[in-house]
Structure 1
Amino acid sequence: MVSEDVRTSSLAVIPPWMQRMWLAVCLVLATLWCVTASTRLSATYDEPCYLTNGLEHWRSGSYELLMNRGTMPLPIDVISLPLYVWEKWRGTPFRMTSTKAGYPLLLDDLSLLLPWARLGTLVFLWLLIGYGWLLGKRLAGSWGGSLAAALLAAEPSILAHSSLATTDISVAACMLALVYHFDQGRGQSWGKRVALPGLWFGLAVLSKASALVFAFLCLITMEWIRLIPGSLSLASVTEETSSEAFGSSCEGVDKRPPERMGFRRVANLLRLMSPFGSDMIQIMAIAIALTLIYVGTDFKLDPALTQWADSLGDSNGARIIQWLSHHVRIFPNAGVGLVRQVQHNMGGHAVYLLGESYPNGVWYYFPVLLIIKMTVAMLLAPLVVLALRPKKLANW
């Protein structure tokens, strides 16, 4: 006779074929919503520029326009490639208007091309839902994966961004893949531990320059949590322990009172993180190398750098810099795009929040915006768990 515990455990585990079918349903429904919505939405502020700059790259092979704007090219290439293929097939270039400086600014055929360009974002949406499903399974078993796929496929902000030809979904998808492969690869071979995370780190940076900071912080946080005694890292969760998270208890959590964070414990954690430091240097080196190789260069001089070097004076160091600025033809490159983005962010931004405009921004803009964008279910879930089963908050 099968015991009650075994029967409960079997009910808590979803069969693999049903998990895959559920994932397929989530992908199809999210895709249908985005496809139907993309034809009804007008152009956003960034889309005309992304499409024109992307088409210009496919025509000329240069990323100069994107790098000068601090825009990383991967999602732009994906959304503009179908338009370039269409353009080559019909034999007539799509028309563009230009600014006084000669930069392409707006497609005359924008209303025709925009819905097709927006389909490119679906590639990253599928990645996002797929890796969300894998991470959910790794964290909380079959039920965790199924719930994660459903939440991502029905999340209003994700669906809205996935219906546009922009860059937000691409960086989110690549960072999710990075987190998954980084956690899965700890303690494995060099390829799984370093090379694969390095690849996804590079793809995240190629999607958006801010990934250089946020992806780095994610990996440090994950490794720190993994090494803290009694913590529940992704790698420590099995199907059995995750099933019990939906049942009576979670054995993966150490219920002993937390040890005092003294100097010895911090020093021990730093010692344990030294292999991670070596891996992290290699991961970032792979990411930067991939970014530089992908963007390449037009083998030009940088006029701004040359002008700055000429203003340095007549010292020995200044003469070396001046010679380099006049002779080393490595611009534009990915470094230019990253620097432009940093300069743009340091300049500050005016913001509009809850009916009010703030020319210099406000410190609480992003926290409030995050609360606005989060779905009601995600905001209420911790409160429901706190009211019904407070001990289960250890799994949150």
Structure 2
Amino acid sequence: MNGTSSTHSSLTLSTFLIAALLLGLLFAQAMTSIPRLSITFDEDVHISTGYSILRTGDLRLVEDHPPLIELWMSWALLLSPDTPDPEKSPAWEQGDRRLFVRNEIWWNQPIDTWVIPSRIPIVWLAMLLGAFLFRWATDWFGPRAGLLALAFFIFDPNILAHGTLATLDLGVTCFIFIAMFGIQRLLRRPSWLNLVTGGVFVGLALGAKVSALIVLPVSVGLMGLWGLNRWRKKLVGRLLIYLGVAFLMLWAVHLFDFGPLPGFSISLPAPTYWNSFLRVGQHISRGDSAYLLGETYVGGRWYYFPIVFALKTPLPAIALIGTGMFTSLLSAWRSPKERLQVLILASLPASYFIMSMTNKINLGYRHILPIVPFLYLFIARLVSRPTQYAMRSTLHVLRITFYALLLWQAIGALRVWPFSLTFFNEIAGGPQSGYRYLADSNVDWGQGLKATRDYLEAHSWPDVKLSSFTFFIRPELYGIKATPLPPLADAPAVLPTRFNPAPGTYVISASTLRGLQLIDREMYNWFWHREPDDVVANAMLVYYVPPRDPAPAWLAQCTAPMAPLSPPVAAEGFGRDDLRLIYFDCAQAWLYPEGGRSPGWYALYRGGETEGAFTRAQRELARLVYEQRAQRDT
């Protein structure tokens, strides 16, 4: 394989020390972030599932994904004498994971006592991923390229964000990358040891998350392509050994369980895994709620992940990755010797990205996180051979450019710390503007409650009302004194007086603002049409609603084609049963109740055949207060 002459054995002590220092910087960033972040949406489920398996050896709470990462993150809880016994929970017998986790097991303990210890093992996986990235980049492209790729990696806000949370995304990213590392090593140096270790690595990836299944066709395809030339008659046998080792590793992750699948009479090894596979398939076909560029919808948009990548990847990385991919494809086109190398680098990230674009789950950058370390290999490749793309006289300028771009990325990562999850690049206007474009784990996954508490303690906002994406967390668990709003558990199902919110201070998370986890996506539409008075942790939006003096006295509804609000809906939505209700045909004339001397509201349908130029002109003179838009799921 051309372009891989640099080997790990050529590394100097200074190179190792610099790499260790960079990994230490990653560790420092992560460890100083962890205590500042409140629990995010899925952490309670993953921690409790892993802990229950370690404590009981029972897989009954495993549902959507294999348990490897959950087991890894939860082991430290076994060291505490105060952790509860899962089998004493009434929900344990039911096997109801959500009920078990959110209503029973942890709430008699401070949240940080079980969340923080479970996040630290994920930091170690982030460091392991960085070490393998450095090793691969160094083996192929030399020490300087390896160090630069690692430096960009440790200052990637998306890696930092998910490397500090007890969730699956960083873990599956790590093990997918290690699996592909094993594949490239097997292809370059075929041996029984590399064949077996390659199978082990793939099995670990499969045990991390169902989406890691993409590794199988990619790895088998690469082995087949390479093996046709090298192994010939031995190819099928080696593939079977490789897959057999991978499955044994996956089965070991599932504690060698054996039994029937739900709904089937046949018994199989690892039935829990196959059940997880079926459940994820159902989730993908069903879709999930998402927000993109002003639209809240259920299902998938093929352009969702390209936009997410463009807005949340640091611009220096985008510039170098794009250049590295272009020059790599150019080299592969010109030289057959380069093609296998480029194919190995590109096959997994390309396959994973396409897979993400074609499903109905648009939950955030985390679902394309496994492509990120492979993209930094393209930066390493670019760094390793600048003489192919520039005159020697410009090499010094190129090196300065690389370091300047690295500095730019590092500054961006440090500026958003400790809220790396909320990173958005300059195209989006930076982290404080991200909520305008995306929601969910792209910007607000519930991590901002501690920052909200500190903010409210430092300010004297009156009558605070709180809406948080982590609806299962009572605000008082973090010391927040506020009236709960939907979707919090103790709040009403629908925002009271949503057309005319009561005076006070509203702290609304970016995800619930866009309708996620709500029974009515438009519930907070009133706030969509106002700029927040402040933004906390780039994710919690503060709105002050002052008392209205004089109070609006009337509601005038256009009857073309019909009045939008019935009297009961109007009374509930405005919180007033004393409004003067007036009806008029806005297609023919405009009504000014009380001669326009007192404030009030108009309600009418936007657009349509009944809205002429006159009506449109009158509507545009008014300030839009609330817009109930047509619901569209697909």
Calculate the TM-score normalised by the size of structure 2.
0.45
- CA 1:151/1:220 → structure 2, altered by over 3 Å: closer, same or farther? farther
Match of 1:47 in 2: 43
Match of 1:188 in 2: 190
Contact kept in structure 1, 2:46 and 2:167, CA below 8 Å: yes
Please report how far the alpha carbon of residue 14 of structure 1 lies from its aligned counterpart in structure 2 after TM superposition.
8.6
Match of 2:178 in 1: 177
Alignment deviations for residues 58-103 of structure 1 (CA, whole Å, 9 cap, x no partner)? 221111211xx2221111011111012213xx47659979599554
Contact kept in structure 1, 2:44 and 2:101, CA below 8 Å: yes
Alignment deviations for residues 316-353 of structure 1 (CA, whole Å, 9 cap, x no partner)? xxxxx5xx5xxx59785322222222232232233222
1:285 aligns with 2:244: yes
Please report how far the alpha carbon of residue 219 of structure 1 lies from its aligned counterpart in structure 2 after TM superposition.
2.3
* 2:241 counterpart letter in structure 1: Q
Once structures 1 and 2 are overlaid, which stretch shifts more, 272-281 or 127-136? Answer: 272-281
Please report how far the alpha carbon of residue 116 of structure 1 lies from its aligned counterpart in structure 2 after TM superposition.
1.5
Q: Secondary structure at 1:210's aligned position in 2?
A: helix
1:73 aligns with 2:32: no
* 2:245 counterpart letter in structure 1: I
Contact kept in structure 2, 1:292 and 1:335, CA below 8 Å: no
* 1:120 counterpart letter in structure 2: P
CA distance in 1, matches of 2:221, 2:31: 36
Equivalent of residue 343 in structure 1, options 273, 277, 282: 282
CA distance in 1, matches of 2:90, 2:115: 16
Match of 1:357 in 2: 296
Please report how far the alpha carbon of residue 155 of structure 1 lies from its aligned counterpart in structure 2 after TM superposition.
0.8
* 1:58 counterpart letter in structure 2: L
Equivalent of residue 83 in structure 1, options 77, 95, 117: 77
Match of 2:219 in 1: 219
Alignment deviations for residues 345-378 of structure 1 (CA, whole Å, 9 cap, x no partner)? 2322332223421212211112222233322112
Contact kept in structure 1, 2:179 and 2:198, CA below 8 Å: yes
Q: Secondary structure at 1:212's aligned position in 2?
A: helix
Q: How many residues align?
A: 316
The residue correspondences of 1:93-108 to structure 2 (distance < 5 A) are 93=85, 101=94, 103=97, 104-106=100-102, 107-108=106-107
- CA 1:223/1:374 → structure 2, altered by over 3 Å: closer, same or farther? farther
CA distance in 2, matches of 1:287, 1:28: 32
Contact kept in structure 1, 2:224 and 2:235, CA below 8 Å: no
The residue correspondences of 1:76-225 to structure 2 (distance < 5 A) are 76-87=70-81, 90=82, 93=85, 101=94, 103=97, 104-106=100-102, 107-108=106-107, 109=109, 110-186=111-187, 187-192=189-194, 194-213=195-214, 215-220=215-220, 222-223=222-223
| RMSD of Structure 2 on Structure 1 (CA) | 3.5
- CA 1:298/1:386 → structure 2, altered by over 3 Å: closer, same or farther? closer
CA distance in 2, matches of 1:59, 1:15: 43
Contact kept in structure 1, 2:77 and 2:83, CA below 8 Å: no
Q: Secondary structure at 1:358's aligned position in 2?
A: strand
The structure with the greater share of residues assigned to strand is 2
Structure 1 unpaired stretches of 5+: 1-12, 228-268, 310-320
* Structure of higher RCO (CA pairs closer than 8 Å, 6+ residues apart): 1
CA distance in 2, matches of 1:59, 1:120: 18
Match of 2:499 in 1: none
CA distance in 1, matches of 2:270, 2:179: 29
1:375 aligns with 2:375: no
Contact kept in structure 1, 2:137 and 2:149, CA below 8 Å: yes
Identical counterparts, % of pairs: 22
- CA 1:136/1:331 → structure 2, altered by over 3 Å: closer, same or farther? closer
Please report how far the alpha carbon of residue 151 of structure 1 lies from its aligned counterpart in structure 2 after TM superposition.
1.6
CA distance in 1, matches of 2:59, 2:325: 51
Query: Rg: which structure is higher?
Result: 2
Please report how far the alpha carbon of residue 53 of structure 1 lies from its aligned counterpart in structure 2 after TM superposition.
1.5
Contact kept in structure 2, 1:99 and 1:105, CA below 8 Å: no
Q: Secondary structure at 1:70's aligned position in 2?
A: coil
Match of 1:6 in 2: none
1:334 aligns with 2:273: yes
Q: Secondary structure at 2:244's aligned position in 1?
A: helix
CA distance in 2, matches of 1:78, 1:180: 21
Q: Secondary structure at 1:120's aligned position in 2?
A: helix
Please report how far the alpha carbon of residue 123 of structure 1 lies from its aligned counterpart in structure 2 after TM superposition.
2.2
* 2:13 counterpart letter in structure 1: W
* 2:238 counterpart letter in structure 1: D
CA distance in 2, matches of 1:16, 1:129: 18
Equivalent of residue 255 in structure 2, options 296, 305, 326: 296
The residue correspondences of 1:213-292 to structure 2 (distance < 5 A) are 213=214, 215-220=215-220, 222-223=222-223, 278-292=237-251
Calculate the TM-score normalised by the size of structure 1.
0.69
Alignment deviations for residues 274-295 of structure 1 (CA, whole Å, 9 cap, x no partner)? 7555433332221122212321
Contact kept in structure 1, 2:286 and 2:299, CA below 8 Å: no
* 1:85 counterpart letter in structure 2: L
CA distance in 1, matches of 2:72, 2:325: 43
* 1:372 counterpart letter in structure 2: L
Contact kept in structure 2, 1:296 and 1:334, CA below 8 Å: no
Please report how far the alpha carbon of residue 221 of structure 1 lies from its aligned counterpart in structure 2 after TM superposition.
6.1
Structure 2 unpaired stretches of 5+: 1-8, 332-380, 383-634
Contact kept in structure 2, 1:136 and 1:147, CA below 8 Å: no
- CA 1:217/1:57 → structure 2, altered by over 3 Å: closer, same or farther? same
CA distance in 1, matches of 2:49, 2:131: 29
Please report how far the alpha carbon of residue 183 of structure 1 lies from its aligned counterpart in structure 2 after TM superposition.
1.3
* 2:288 counterpart letter in structure 1: H
The structure with the greater share of residues assigned to helix is 1
Match of 2:350 in 1: none
Q: Secondary structure at 1:293's aligned position in 2?
A: helix
* 1:377 counterpart letter in structure 2: P
* 1:32 counterpart letter in structure 2: A
Alignment deviations for residues 199-233 of structure 1 (CA, whole Å, 9 cap, x no partner)? 000000111111112x1244256558869xxxxxx
Please report how far the alpha carbon of residue 156 of structure 1 lies from its aligned counterpart in structure 2 after TM superposition.
0.7
